[in-house]
Amino acid sequence: MRAAVYRSTGSAAEVLRIEDLPTPEPGPGQVRVRLVVSGVNPTDWRLRSGATAMAPVAGFQVPNQDGAGVVDAVGPGVDPARVGERVWLYLAAFGNPYGTAAEYTVVPQERAVPLPDGVAFDLGANLGVPALTAHRCLHADGPVEGRTVLVAGGAGAVGHFAIELARAAGATVVATVSGPEKAALATAAGAHHVVNYRSGDPAAEIRAAAPDGVDRIVEVALADNLALDLAVAAPHASIVTYAADAKQPALPVRELMVRNLVLRFMLLYSVPPDALARAVAEVSAALAEGVLTPLPAHRFTLDDTAAAHDAVQSGAVGKVLIDI
């Protein structure tokens, strides 16, 4: 099969090559998926660059956690009726050399989730990392029905699904963005209120939309936004951080204590297994109900996997997809 491969970490241009690899055979409990679309996330370029480390499991790594395709073979212990099933994938490259930037991958069968009839492969390839992260950030501290959720960076991939899942779960959603293009994306995703965090008085605007304060904050930039979060958080609110940038926050402990706030951190790779299973099930249900949509796509070919990684690294607005 043709695959994008790296054998050491470094810049995309230096280490990513398109190679012919033996097509993998599914082992016990695994399915083999013929990929149609691979979705690229920040974690994919970070792992490839060496900025974050993951223990290597083979002498090579096909990058990318997310994708969508069709099951074409199953290993021992897997229902043969799954052959021909359309699926979306999550954590394909986690503990596995076969990520989704290739014609085929083999994954544990639970990481290949049925894609409902009529749902495009593109949407399937948008889901994995962003939608499961958004689900966990929203729901780790209890139901959000009737609550107010603040989604920082509402036009990002995680922010997009946080808005859609929160709204579908019955929350009032306030999203922050940096400008009009991103405001349009957050509004299209269903945010009830969209606030520019770079201009005017964002705390006052959020307070106007949520006079009693916000109950849950899905936070992409804790160090930058902690003061804003504290200015708008209701008593007992949770601030759930899923991104680690270089800047470290200074914690105003007393201020956090007085309102009994919860500061939670979330990494998809180590989410408790029951929470991950619940996220997969509830994202699937939302998909079947038609409440999830893809972000505008930036399309690349498999030959251009390095350029696709660079596009994500340079902050492409929307979703970077690779057509296999």
Query: Could you say whether residue 96 binds ligand NAP (CB under 6 A)?
Result: no
Tokens at 62, concatenated: 């096909």
Tokens at 116, concatenated: 């409902």
> Which of 42, 190 has the CB closer to ligand NAP?
42
> Which of 69, 153 has the CB closer to ligand NAP?
153
In 3-state terms, what secondary structure has residue 40? strand
Query: Could you say whether residue 150 binds ligand NAP (CB under 6 A)?
Result: no
CB of 156 to ligand NAP, least distance (A): 2
CB of 310 to ligand NAP, least distance (A): 13
Of 130, 131, 194, 216, the one binding ligand NAP by CB under 6 A: 130
| DSSP H or E stretch at residue 70 | strand 66-74
Query: What separation in angstroms does the CA of 24 have from each of 60, 84, 112, 302?
Result: 13, 17, 16, 18
Say how far residue 92 (Cα) sits from the centre of its chain.
13
Of 224, 249, 291, 323, the one binding ligand NAP by CB under 6 A: 224
Query: Could you say whether residue 242 binds ligand NAP (CB under 6 A)?
Result: yes
Rounded to an integer, what distance in angstroms lies between the CA atom of residue 43 and that of residue 63?
Answer: 10
Choose the stretch contacting ligand NAP; rule: CB under 6 A; options: 19-27, 199-207, 220-228, 251-259: 220-228
Which residue sits closest to ligand NAP, CB atoms considered? 156
Count of residues in contact with ligand NAP, rule CB under 6 A: 27
Of 112, 157, 206, 324, the one binding ligand NAP by CB under 6 A: 157
CB proximity list for 117: less than 8 A, separation 6 or greater: 86
Residue 6: Cβ-neighbour burial (10 angstroms; 0-12, 13-18, 19+): buried
Query: Could you say whether residue 43 binds ligand NAP (CB under 6 A)?
Result: yes
Of 64, 96, 126, 176, the one binding ligand NAP by CB under 6 A: 176
> Which of 160, 167 has the CB closer to ligand NAP?
160
CB of 142 to ligand NAP, least distance (A): 20
Query: Could you say whether residue 183 binds ligand NAP (CB under 6 A)?
Result: no
CB of 1 to ligand NAP, least distance (A): 27
Rounded to an integer, what distance in angstroms lies between the CA atom of residue 300 and that of residue 286?
Answer: 28
Q: Give 3-35 as a DSSP string.
A: EEEBSS-S-HHHH-EEEE-PPPPP-TTEEEEEE
Choose the stretch contacting ligand NAP; rule: CB under 6 A; options: 68-76, 127-135, 143-151, 200-208: 127-135
CB of 183 to ligand NAP, least distance (A): 10
Q: Are 241 and 185 in contact (CB under 8 A)?
A: no
> Which of 51, 58 has the CB closer to ligand NAP?
51
> Which of 85, 219 has the CB closer to ligand NAP?
219
Query: Could you say whether residue 234 binds ligand NAP (CB under 6 A)?
Result: no
Query: Could you say whether residue 45 binds ligand NAP (CB under 6 A)?
Result: no
Q: Are 93 and 65 in contact (CB under 8 A)?
A: yes
Query: Could you say whether residue 133 binds ligand NAP (CB under 6 A)?
Result: yes
Q: Are 301 and 132 in contact (CB under 8 A)?
A: no
Distance spanning both ends of the chain, measured CA to CA: 11
Q: Are 295 and 274 in contact (CB under 8 A)?
A: no
Query: Could you say whether residue 268 binds ligand NAP (CB under 6 A)?
Result: yes
For the chain, what is the radius of gyration of the CA atoms? 20
Residue numbers at the binding site for ligand NAP (CB under 6 A) = 41-43, 129-130, 133, 152-153, 155-159, 176, 178, 182, 197, 220-221, 224-225, 242-243, 266-268, 315
